[in-house]
Amino acid sequence: MPYIHSVARALAPHAYTQEELTASLLEIWGTRYVNPERILRFQKNVLVGGRNLAVPLERYGELCDLGEANDAWLEAAVPMATEAVQDLLKKADLEASEISQLTSTTVTGLAVPSLDARLMNTVGFSRDTRRTPLFGLGCLAGVAGINRVGDYLKGHPKEAAVLVAVELCSLTLQRDDLSVANIIASGLFGDGCAAVLMVGDEHPLAKSSPLEWSNPRSAFFEDTERVMGWDVVGSGFKVVLSPDVPQLVAEEIPGEVDELMDGAGMKGQRPDFVVAHPGGPKVLEALQDALGLEQADLQLSWDCLQAYGNMSSASVLFILEDTINNPPPPGSVGVMAALGPGFCAELNLLKRAA
């Protein structure tokens, strides 16, 4: 089976505390919202301490439509992705020419040529590098990307591949949308980028890789299109975020984890560790309850949420890096999981090298 060798991250360049961000939002919405205290309550309830933003706070008022927001996305996303991938290659002591396949994912900006195509020039990949851009998978794309790269490496065991996820959620803020979903999103979502190096089991770096990947699982829950996603409007991406997400997690995820473990010949067992996307406090609490976990079992997810907010597909890759840096015992078997638009889930098994 393929292996996960390393992860590198790149934070958006402008860091703010939650209090600074909330104050800025109150300047926009405070006189137009019936109960400004409710905005404060929403901002506190997401348990985010601060976030990094793609552009300076004062510039967001200048972004009036989808085109201007998308230009700002490109301006920030390409340097962030370049930084993360270059750091990743440096960690592994690899040249860009030694990477056979490059997958990119985002749900917060549009690029044609795609983000991975732009990295061909900034990083210097070989001209015959196979590229796969992914769009529209949202928060689950970190795990989905890992799974699609793993699928590729199963058929190319001597090769190395890179996944890069860039999410600049702040650039999707709708200043004129006073819906509960948008106000919650304004306090929850942040900006970040992560890159992952995976290798086939015959690659020289396989023996030094800390995690073995296996058993990818996809689950699509019927008739849930309006649970999470975007409405694409003239002013950009307008958030669709249903309060039903925690309930769906509680109802659907235990069975998916059971099927995952059964398929790996571990029927009736529970994972030793969990690498879970931190959708928000209610989602993490629902996941804990559904799987019979303690908060400590998802502490890395809670810590990531508090430090950076929900960075969509990049968040679970931050947590993957933290798991590698704080490794479970040798031989441990974990589950990596994320949910996103569809509504759907992606999971896999991770085994710590013995």
Q: Is the pLDDT of residue 194 over 90?
A: yes
Do the Cβ atoms of 318 and 57 come closer than 8 Å?
Answer: no
Average the pLDDT over 105-119 and give the result: 96
Q: Point out the residues that are catalytic.
A: 139
What one-letter code names the amino acid at 308?
Y
Of 236-240, 247-251, 273-277, 342-346, highest mean pLDDT: 273-277
pLDDT at 31 over 80: no
Strand partners of residue 339: 345
The per-residue pLDDT for 94 is 98
What's the mean per-residue pLDDT of the chain? 94
* pLDDT (0 to 100) of residue 77: 98
Q: What is the pLDDT of residues 161-192, one digit of tens each?
A: 999 999 999 999 998 888 888 888 999 999 99
What is the pLDDT, as a whole number, of residue 319?
98
- Which position has the higher pLDDT, 233 or 89? 89
- Reply yes or no on whether the pLDDT at 112 is more than 90: yes
> Could you give the domains of the chain?
3-207 (3.40.47.10), 209-352 (3.40.47.10)
Residue 34 pLDDT exceeds 80: no
Residue 116 is which amino acid? D
Confidence (pLDDT) at 228: 86
User: Can you tell me the mean pLDDT for 197-208?
Assistant: 97
Only one residue has tokens 């270059």, namely 86
* Distance between CA atoms of residues 62 and 79, nearest Å: 21
| φ, ψ at 313 (rounded to 5°) | -65, -20
The length of the chain, given as a count of residues? 354
At residue 35, does pLDDT exceed 90? no
Bridge partners, 334 (sequence order) = 273, 350
